[in-house]
């Protein structure tokens, strides 16, 4: 809650709460983060998918990809319907998993590799 002395409102400033309110609590907000590591090919890649609300009531699927340890590249795709955006997120995640990307292990050290 916003409890500053100048503004006394019931608006929540928590990012996660704003996102769930915007999406209408109809969809789970699952962000996807995948890695593809093959030392024999010197391949250390990441791929992440995130849902974010837009100012006009839509939802954007934000894709980030690149070599682990870099900022990589980004692409934003906007949808009017939250369910359509969630379907696109799941579809893209499935495609990347078919291409060898996996959810990183909790104890994985490949994230610290820069080179």
Residue 3 is assigned to a structural domain of this protein: no
pLDDT on residue 106: 72
In this predicted structure, the answer to whether residue 26 has a pLDDT above a threshold of 50 is no
**Residue 110 falls within a domain, yes or no?**
no
pLDDT confidence tier of residue 108, bands split at 50, 70 and 90: low
Least confident window among 44-48, 54-58, 94-98, 108-112 = 108-112
Predicted confidence (pLDDT) at residue 15 exceeds the cutoff of 90: no
CATH label of the domain that carries residue 57: 2.20.140.10
Q: Is residue 115 part of a domain?
A: no
Question: pLDDT higher for 3 or 72?
Answer: 72
For 71, the domain range is: 25-105
Rounded distance, CA 106 to CA 6, Å?
43
In a domain, 11, yes or no: no
Q: Determine which of 28-42, 43-57, 58-72 has the lowest per-residue pLDDT on average.
A: 28-42
**Number of folded domains in the chain?**
1
Distance in angstroms (rounded) separating the CA atoms of residues 99 and 92: 11
């Amino acid at each position: 809650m916003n409890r500053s002395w100048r503004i006394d409102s019931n608006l929540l400033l928590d990012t996660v709460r704003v996102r769930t309110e915007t999406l209408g609590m109809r969809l789970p907000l699952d962000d996807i983060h995948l890695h593809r590591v093959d030392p024999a090919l010197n391949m250390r890649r990441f791929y992440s998918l995130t849902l974010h609300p837009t100012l006009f009531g839509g939802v954007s699927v934000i894709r980030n990809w690149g070599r682990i340890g870099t900022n990589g590249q980004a692409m934003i795709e906007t949808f009017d319907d939250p369910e359509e955006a969630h379907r696109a997120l799941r579809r893209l995640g499935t495609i990347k998993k078919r291409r060898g990307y996996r959810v990183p292990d909790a104890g994985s050290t490949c994230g610290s590799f820069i080179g």
